[in-house]
Structure 1
């Protein structure tokens, strides 16, 4: 048992391990719910439904006011095996791409912002679109909106990157992303209408995130410090003092002297990846991309 706890703790001690941390949080929540459901079933109590309502995102704004944390907890919560397996596999495959090209911090930003965007669209549809209003109140769980944000972001950044799929062979990830988006559009009038609407919210965020990043704007900057604090709770490393320079006194020469690439250089590299793939980069460009992923 101590070995398991040590493995979990070590996973959060590494600052560049965000992909595994996200997957681990989802798995830990899933396992905890399985254990609770089993214990409560043996005790012949019906408290499990109450526990799930504390974690699920309600469509009713009044319920949300009483459970505001659910706008975050819902995208770390799963109840079915197939649901979490599908989401975690996609998170791993596409999250590896985002982590390799943009760094761990951007991956966390996409995951959280994708989940929040999915929640916003879900709430808007259930409270303003007649088809959803007549369906009555509902609750939502699952990381699908967050995961689809990462999938679409990867496809926007690297549209011609190829995965070798079982039975299908090599497929460009832009077609995988389009398929999943269209699947969510078709499912927006099905049994899981609210969930599929949330997927589309995540997909839209993923596209906008990369477009803004190429324009020099990081939508997830405010998330970085929060995630670093959460990860630091599991770490024994001493706190580091960070000093900030006045942007007004910073110069391009100072940036170059520090070895960190400028935003223009990063934009050029990202455009080159989008057009010709990662392998088209020179060794120097790959090193610049790596340094950029570590600098914030």
Structure 2
């Protein structure tokens, strides 16, 4: 039973091709590994050994421009480490809920781009804020940020920008449209700019801006995620396909063109503008 569970988990995270499961799996796995590695350091009782601070110092993203040349890799690594279980839990819940909706309308490649580059955009705004605003002058040398919040925020805002009138049901609140959810989320981060976690709020806002800009450009026909697109491999076809195979291929091609047309319509007009037949076609395609 346990073997079957872990095999299924491994498949979902690493083999299913679903980027939501991939990023949730990687974040959770890293959190568990770091937590177990920290146990002997804690039990040793040696005051000089502060494992969480060590992780944050060398894998978190630094605000100091002097540290960046030697810690350039942290623009990626900081997105996969979290400051406590609740920090991880809420990020992964948002990533799961909004990621599923995102993938109903867009491609896995586009999800990868929004997540990773959203995190990078958050890091960039974090650096800018700490090196521009005087309030951070005393702490910029040692300040660091960790967490996937900026990447998750990019996914949330991208999804809300793409299908603003799409509704989800929230406990106590009932059905809420994504545009209002995103607006409330951003308002909280703007208020947070005057709090002790102002640096984190700048990071989240950077991710939100990336998600918004990505979708707006996508709606104009500019897909930044093509940077992640693999070049197709050339294949040598030896035998002519049978009539039945040819007909099936043409049918799949027609269906794919129909789905692409529906996705284009969503990008330009929103999900609510789809007809009942178009929604049904998209639903069947997502299941396939």
Q: Which TM-score band applies after superposition, normalised by the shorter structure?
A: 0.7 to 0.9
Which of 73, 81, 84 lines up with 1:80 in the alignment? 84
Q: CA deviation at 1:66?
A: 1.2
- Residues 13/141 of structure 1: CA separation in 2 closer, same or farther (3 Å cut): closer
2:204 matched to 1:213? no
Once the 2 structures are TM-superposed, how far is the Cα of residue 11 of structure 1 from its aligned partner? 2.7
Partner of 1:22: 23
The TM-score with structure 2 as length reference comes to: 0.82
Quote the residue 2:234 is aligned against: 243
Inter-partner Cα distance in structure 1 for 2:197 and 2:89 = 18
Deviations 1:230-282 (A, max 9, x none): xxxxxxxxxx97139xxxxxxxxxx9995443977642243343453685725
Partner of 2:194, secondary structure, is coil
- Note the residue ranges of structure 1 that are not aligned, 5 or more in a row: 226-239, 245-254
Question: In the TM superposition, what is the alpha-carbon distance from 1:13 to its structure 2 partner?
Answer: 4.3
The verdict on how the C-alpha distance between 1:14 and 1:277 changes in structure 2, with shifts beyond 3 A counting, is farther
Deviation at 1:15, TM superposition (A): 4.5
Aligned-pair distance for 1:188? 1.1
Q: Secondary structure at the match of 1:217?
A: coil
Q: How many residues align?
A: 267
What CA distance in whole angstroms lies between the structure 2 residues aligned with 1:47 and 1:135? Answer: 20
**SS of 2:169's equivalent?**
strand
Structure of higher CA gyration radius: 2
Query: Matched residues in 1 for 2:83 and 2:229: separation?
Result: 28
- Offset of 1:22 from its aligned partner? 0.5
Deviates more, 1:8-17 or 1:77-86: 8-17
In the other structure, the counterpart of 1:158 is 163
Secondary structure of the corresponding residue to residue 224 of structure 2: coil
Pick from 167, 191, 204: which aligns with 1:199? 204
Q: 1:231 aligns to what?
A: none
- Which consecutive residues of structure 2, in runs of 5 or more, have no partner in the other structure? 236-249
Partner of 2:257: 261
Is the Cα–Cα contact under 8 Å of residues 166 and 272 in structure 2 kept in the other structure?
no
Measured in 2, the distance between the counterparts of 1:257 and 1:11 equals: 26
TM-score scaled by structure 1?
0.80
CA RMSD in angstroms, aligned pairs only: 3.0
Aligned to 1:168: 173
Q: 1:53 offset after TM fit, Å?
A: 1.4
Indicate if the aligned counterparts of 2:165 and 2:270 stay in contact, CA closer than 8 A. no
SS at match of 2:68: helix
Deviation at 1:106, TM superposition (A): 1.6
Structure 2: how far apart are the matches of 1:178 and 1:220? Answer: 25
Q: Cα distance, 1:200 vs. partner?
A: 0.5
In the aligned structure 2, how far is the partner of 1:13 from the partner of 1:139? 30
Partner of residue 68, structure 1: 72
What is the rounded CA distance, in whole Å, between the counterparts of 2:123 and 2:203 in structure 1? 6
Mapped contact 1:161–1:277 kept (Cα < 8 A): no
The residue aligned with 2:107 is 103
- In terms of mean alpha carbon deviation, does 14-23 or 82-91 score higher? 14-23
Distance (Å, rounded) in 1 between the aligned partners of 2:165 and 2:283 = 18
Shift of 1:131: 2.5
| 1:8-39 Cα deviation digits (max 9, x unpaired) | 53234435321101000000111111111112
Q: CA deviation at 1:153?
A: 0.7
Q: Are residues 1:276 and 2:273 paired?
A: yes
Structure 1 counterpart of 2:130: 126
